[in-house]
Amino acid sequence: MPDLKKNVYAVLLAGGSGTRLWPVSRKLYPKQLVKFIGKDSLVQSTIKRLSTVISPERIKIVCGKEHFHETARHMAEIGLRPEGKIICEPCGRNTAPALLLAVLNILKSKQNSVLCVFPADHVIRDTESFYNKLKSAVRLAEKGYIVTFGIKPNYPETGYGYVEGNGEIFDGALSIKRFVEKPDKETAKKYVKAGNFFWNSGMFVFTGSVMIEEFRKYQPKLLKTMEDIISKDSFITIDNYKKLPDISIDYAIMENTDKGVVLPSDFGWSDIGSWKSLYDFLPKDKDNNVIDGDVIAKDTKNCFIMGRDRLIATNHLDKIVVVETPDSVFVSDLDNSRDVKSIVNQLKGKGRKEYKKHKTVYHQWGSLTVLEHEDDIKVERLVIYPGLNLQLKVDNLTLQHLIMIKGRAKLISEMQTGFLTKGESKIISDNGTIKIDNPGKEPISIISINISSTFLRNPEKIL
């Protein structure tokens, strides 16, 4: 497949939280960073798919600041240098501000480029058909159209919005009659039967100059505020970014513009928006199950079962979802599994940490996994990436016990410098900061046991 023209950029929107894929997808580790299918995360798969036709150097990713370092690591894992390719939002303000931020960023250096905008967490089965449609969309964009990919519905899905097409414009594209919200089952059946309704994929192709014209026409205040933010701040502050409206690109532009067209497409697309849609996309075994992890499935059919940490044993199940993580388990009938979003809202309302993060949390320097946490004792596993370091603050109210379980670390404090190798340990009880440095070429692992002085003064707690 030949490379598209040099003025074509890909923009991946990676700001979603994927609450319908809880407990695997969470606020601090959303679905685009999860490896659901094969050895690549969804964002890695999307980058690889686009790199076949668009130069990797012209791929940009818009993500939240809390996902910046992990997104960069995922890019580096597949050989793509992240420098200059990640556009960071200090907070989420929906797709219109995210897309506008990317357009203005690219237009700084490349005037009138063609931008191909894709969610970072979608999957496509028929890549050749996708590439052909993408080339058609670029041709349409160069003629001044704003192209959205409309997926031909093969069943009455109620979880997607729809686009109604009208007469043909050029190269197979149809004019857009209207966008419609997620329908009920009977309405969705009518849409499928009509033949001119398509799933709204959230994928767009346009030139930067045309999109800016439409923002100036239909969202002048948003455009002016964003331009002011970019011109004033080399680093975009959260206070300024919160001034932007929380609005989707559909509401902001697509439902107003007369330049929009829908390109009917059938390339095996899925937004992986729920456990049911992931089940539908993945290949099944002889019992029509999708099974991943350490699973024993007895008399189990038409099920999705995913284990991340423990053995799962099932018996006499049909059309059931079972998803296990180290701190949470989700069980549902398959068809209603998207209702997990309401459970996540309950967890959030109760202040439960499970809605937001896993036991393992990723940082710029590596990862931290909580193994045990009582009132006076916390046990954690620290993984530090090559060439990076972690700084721990210690005081005389706690006793910090470090046990090296993999690799070799350099410990640097105000008083001394030394090394810790596999099997060795060190107890730290002085005030100050200790830097744990990984000078090697592989990640290192350390068990950190933090014991408070309250525990040490009350040894009867041991009994």
Q: Where are the domains of the chain?
A: 8-270, 275-349, 363-462
| Ranges of the chain whose pLDDT falls below 50 | 1-2, 456-457, 459-463
CA distance 398 to 27: 31
Tokens of residue 450, six digits: 């933090």
Contact 413, 452 (CB under 8 A): no
Q: So what's the pLDDT on residue 188? A: 94
Give the CATH class of 8-270: alpha beta
pTM of the predicted structure, to 2 decimals: 0.89
What type of residue sits at position 105? N
CA distance 52 to 372: 45
CA distance 121 to 34: 9
Q: So what's the pLDDT on residue 115? A: 96
pLDDT tens, residue by residue, 190-239: 999 999 999 999 999 999 999 999 999 999 999 999 998 888 756 788 88
What type of residue sits at position 348? K
Q: How far is CA 414 from CA 66, 78, 146, 410, 449, in A?
A: 31, 38, 60, 13, 21
Segment (H or E) for 417: strand 417-421
Tokens of residue 275, six digits: 């456990």
Q: So what's the pLDDT on residue 416? A: 81
Q: So what's the pLDDT on residue 2? A: 44
Give Rg (Cα) of the chain: 25
Q: Is the dihedral of CA 436, 235, 16, 265 positive or negative?
A: negative
Question: Comparing C-alpha atoms, which of 40, 61, 73, 158 is closest to residue 118?
Answer: 61
Q: Is the dihedral of CA 188, 189, 194, 198 positive or negative?
A: positive
CA distance 121 to 201: 12
pLDDT tens, residue by residue, 232-276: 756 788 888 998 999 999 999 999 999 999 999 999 999 998 999
Contact 446, 436 (CB under 8 A): yes
Tokens of residue 37, six digits: 């299918």
CA distance 295 to 144: 53
Architecture in CATH for domain 363-462: Sandwich (2.60)
CA distance 452 to 463: 17
Q: So what's the pLDDT on residue 331? A: 97
Q: So what's the pLDDT on residue 376? A: 86
In whole angstroms, what separates CA 434 from the centre of its chain? 33
Q: So what's the pLDDT on residue 24? A: 95
SS (H, E, C) 20-75: HHCCCCECCECHHHCCCECCECHHHHHHHHHHCCCCHHHEEEEEEHHHHHHHHHHH
Q: So what's the pLDDT on residue 308? A: 84
What type of residue sits at position 47? I
